[in-house]
Structure 1
Amino acid sequence: MPMQNIAICGSMTFIEQMRALCNELEAKGHRVFLPQDDEFDYQMRNAEAQIARKQKYIDDHLTKIRMSDAVLIANYDKHGVAGYIGPNTLMEMAFAYALGKEIWLLHAPGAQACQVEVLGLQPTVLEGFLQHLPNK
């Protein structure tokens, strides 16, 4: 596969796994964008500060998606849901879809509220292996 710009998306619960994916992709010659690691203490801030901080994180990551050729969704199991995709990740997937970017899911999405919407974005499911990335 030729070098690509890839934005990794997923629940921040999975940031360590996303870093490992980043390292693996960079070792293959890709340029990788990770979401900003959120060390903001939302419990210690008022609602206005929380919203402003979240907006900045969203804007920053959407810019990274815009600069990418594809998005890789790091969707591991969470809350008893296989291949969990949360609201921010679904939003990022829809943004990538609207821009015509390739969407790769690390795992098939399990039964969850947004499962049909996720599949409607026509992602490529990698079955847990980066070796299954499409060769383009």
Structure 2
Amino acid sequence: MKTITICGSMKYEKEMRVIAFELETKYGYNVLQCVYNSEKKELTSLDLDALKKAHYKKIDISDGIYVVDIQGYIGSSVKEEIQYAKENGKEIIIHSIYNL
């Protein structure tokens, strides 16, 4: 069973949750997900830094990343995560959805 970290824009958190569920139940992946701020709490710079460090640690312990590209959108943070994964020899899987 491969362990992957899901990467994508937080504006598509609902879609990423569905994709993560399908990856685990139908495809046998162990998915490390983002920490979602569903309650839309205000985040400090310290909160954001802690979340970023935790996310990169997830990439470190994963076999690869699973990039969720919805409507062709990959933001700057996800581009940085892709570069980090490449530099660290991680597999990169792209999941593109164009018709919502």
TM range (shorter): 0.7 to 0.9
Q: Which TM-score applies when normalising by structure 2?
A: 0.86
Structure (1 or 2) with the larger CA radius of gyration: 1
Tell me by how many angstroms 1:40 deviates.
Answer: 2.8
Instruction: Indicate the SS of the match to 1:40.
Output: coil
Counterpart of 2:35 in structure 1 is 36
Runs ≥4 in structure 1, deviation > 6 angstroms? Answer: none
Higher strand share: 2
Paired letter, 2:81: E
1:72 pairs, out of 66, 88, 91, with 66
Where does structure 1 lack aligned partners over 5 or more consecutive residues? 43-49, 78-82, 108-127, 129-136
Aligned length: 94
CA deviation profile, 1:75-126 (whole Å, cap 9, x unmatched): 102xxxxx1111111111111111100111112xxxxxxxxxxxxxxxxxxx
CA deviation profile, 1:25-49 (whole Å, cap 9, x unmatched): 111221101111123324xxxxxxx
Where does structure 2 lack aligned partners over 5 or more consecutive residues? none
Return the alpha-carbon distance in structure 2 between the equivalents of residues 33 and 85 of structure 1.
19
RMSD: 1.2
1:26 pairs, out of 24, 27, 39, with 24
Higher relative contact order (CA 8 A, sep 6+): 2
Q: Which TM-score applies when normalising by structure 1?
A: 0.65
